[in-house]
Structures are given as structure tokens and as C-alpha cells.
Amino acid sequence: MIYRLKGTVIDFEEDFLVIDVNNVGYQVFASTRDLSKVAIDQAADMHIYTHVREDQITLFGFLSADDRKMYMKLTSVNGVGPKAGMAILSVCSADDVIEAVNTGNSKILQAAKGIGKKVAERIVLDLSGKLPVLSAGLPKVGSQGGEKSVMNTSAINDVISALSNMGFKNNQANQAVSQAVRETAVNDDFGLLLKESLRILKG
């Protein structure tokens, strides 16, 4: 299976580009967002998903490894095929999808061509609890040295896990922790964040 291609862009159309790798041109289907970032004669490094059917082999490419991982998550949902997954990533970044799933906001996904309400809601339901905490949408916490991202701190992940174990839904836990971080300007105190999150949830 082809997993990654590094070469030169020699052509591109509305939904694919052609990468020359050692004088072999590979047709790689890509999202509108990624295609907007490439140009003829420009070097390209694409993370590839090889889709194999009885009658054809199709390459889907992504400029970031995170987008490829998200694509695999999306296409694991029943009813979301290779083209539908690419349509979603044409209008949403990986973080946009995470936000949609973790907050239960399926309307974000409905902006993609061919993704209706039922499919969007199925994606949110099926991927709930299977994606990381939102990385781009959470606020930043001020510090003496400037700003630092609140994401991926063990305290935040531990609080979300604790709330889930208490029976709260994943999107409820994410929303409560996000609000707690905003209100306290703290992202590394498990006890404080858990207390504030519970106060918000019990409101």
C-alpha cells in the first residue's frame, strides 16, 4: 500500500492533483482546503490513504498527518464513504470535526457537500468519546511569559475522563471543562477544574 508520496506537483484539477515521483505521475484526490495550498512545480509531501476496490485503486492524499487520521475516523462511520470523508475535510479541519463531535454540534459537518442531517448526527454519535480533546477551540490561558495553549494537559484529560466515569456524556464533559478553563484561567489543577466542571454541569 502507498502510505506517503513526496514529489513535485505537475498538474491539479478541482478534486485531485498529480504528483511526479521519480518520473511517475500519481493521481491523488485531495480536499479543497489542501488543493488551495498547492501550485504547479511546487514540492508536495502527501500522507496517503490507498482505497482498494475490485476494479480500481484510488489514492487520497493529505498535507497533514492529522487530517489523514481524521479521514480514517470519518470513513469508519457507516454511511461515510471515501468521497464523503473528503467532502467533510474540504470544509472542516481536523479540529473542526473534533469540535463538532465533542460539542454535539452536527451542523458544522452539514456544511460539507452531500452530508445531510442524519449522516452528520451519525458521525457525532459514532465518534463520540473516540476523539481527543479539542485542540484549537479551547481558550488560551495568560501567563507571565505570554500565552500558552491549554490543550493536551494531563489535568484536562483526567477531568474529562473522571466526568465520563461519573456518567456524563463526552460532549457535556468537554463543554464543561472548556468553560471551567475560561472562567478560572487555569489548565493544570485537576481538583479545581473538576470542582468547577461539576458546578457547571449541575448548574
Q: How do the pLDDT tens digits run along the chain, 203 residues long?
A: 899 999 999 999 989 999 999 999 999 999 999 999 989 999 999 999 999 988 899 999 999 998 999 999 999 999 999 999 999 999 988 888 988 888 888 998 999 999 999 999 999 999 988 876 544 444 444 433 333 344 445 777 778 878 887 888 877 887 888 888 878 877 777 888 888 889 988 87
Which CATH number do you get for residue 78?
Answer: 1.10.150.20
- Nearest-10 crossing angle of helices 65-75, 117-127: 110
pLDDT of residue 133: 59
pLDDT of residue 144: 38
Cell digits of residue 46: 502527501
Domain-terminating residue out of 89, 105, 127: 127
Q: Which residues pair with 44 in a beta bridge?
A: 7
- Report pTM: 0.66
For residues 72-108, one letter each, b for 16 or more C-beta atoms within 10 angstroms of the residue's C-beta and e for the rest, the string is ebbbebeebebbbbbbbbbbbbbbbbbbbbbbbebeb
Place of cell 508520496: 5
85 and 118: one domain?
A: yes
Full domain range(s) for residue 92: 66-127
pLDDT of residue 150: 41
pLDDT of residue 168: 83
Tell whether 135 is covered by a domain.
Answer: no
pLDDT of residue 76: 94
Which CATH number do you get for residue 41?
Answer: 2.40.50.140
